Amino acid sequence: MGRNLKRWVEHFLWPVECPVCGRIASTGCLSCLENLIHNPIIRELGGDLTLMSGSTHHDTCRDLVLRLKYRGYGQLGVVMGQALAKVLPPVDCDALVPIPLHKQSRRPWNQAKLIAKGIAMEWRVPVVELLVWNPKAGFQTSYSSIERRLMAENALVFKGVRRGRQQVRAVVLIDDVSTTGTTLRRAACTLSEHSISVKKAITWSTSLRYYR
């Protein structure tokens, strides 16, 4: 079967197209996503934590997050992670740690973990889930910007490292979007309490207006 015919068959069975270039049978082309984030944003979140984001949270970059989280395009998260890994400078670390999905969420996947998997494919670094939401901390995604800043210090708790896994001492935090930076700071503090250093935090996009 020729490449073009195969693509049309895939599109008939799985009717999607790249939101950037319109290529059929593609949730998002890696080259298109790389071009979207060719000028990444680097900012300090405080406490020696540096955030690297692919873009501001607007237009197509925002739409990609919505597709990933709410419209069933799970594979898109992996491609987003691959694009980030190709654009951002590699970080020397033992593992990538995604911000966990809240238990009350109805999503079939953790978008942060999918992005982490994409980065892991390029950087050859394992994805390790070390954090869980404290059940007493509330539903984080429903917070206003002010409530996010007032998030409890113990909102995220240490899950622990599975027995037999190599020692984890230096990690990179991964999430889809940084709104105020509070979640990432809370995660970094929790890990530091267990002698784990957070080298960097990485998100696909960031909302600059909340950092003023």
Cα 23 from Cα 99, distance rounded (Å): 31
Interatomic CA distance for residues 169 and 197, integer angstroms: 6
Query: Phi and psi for 44 in degrees, rounded to 5?
Result: -95, 130
Tell me what pLDDT residue 3 has: 56
Which residues make beta-bridge pairs with 206?
56, 178
Q: How do strand 95-98 and strand 49-56 relate by DSSP bridges? A: unpaired
Are 104 and 52 within 8 A, CB to CB? no
Supply the pLDDT for residue 23. Answer: 87
Say if CB 34 and CB 45 are below 8 A apart. no
Write down all domains in the chain, each with its CATH number in brackets. 15-211 (3.40.50)
In this predicted structure, what is the pLDDT of residue 161?
78
Q: Which helix (H) or strand (E) holds 12?
A: helix 3-13
Report pLDDT for 13.
45
Per-residue pLDDT 10s for the chain (212 aa) are: 455 555 444 444 456 889 899 888 788 999 999 999 999 999 999 889 999 999 999 999 999 999 999 988 999 999 999 999 999 999 999 999 999 998 778 788 999 999 999 999 999 999 999 999 998 765 555 555 555 667 888 999 998 877 666 789 999 999 999 999 999 999 999 999 999 999 999 999 999 875 54
Tokens for 165, please give them.
Answer: 């896994």
Confidence at residue 11, expressed as pLDDT on a 0 to 100 scale:
43
The counts of H helices and E strands in the chain are 7, 7
Instruction: Enter the pTM of the model.
Output: 0.88
The two beta strands, 170-178 and 156-158, are unpaired
Q: Tokens 């207006």 identify what position?
A: 209
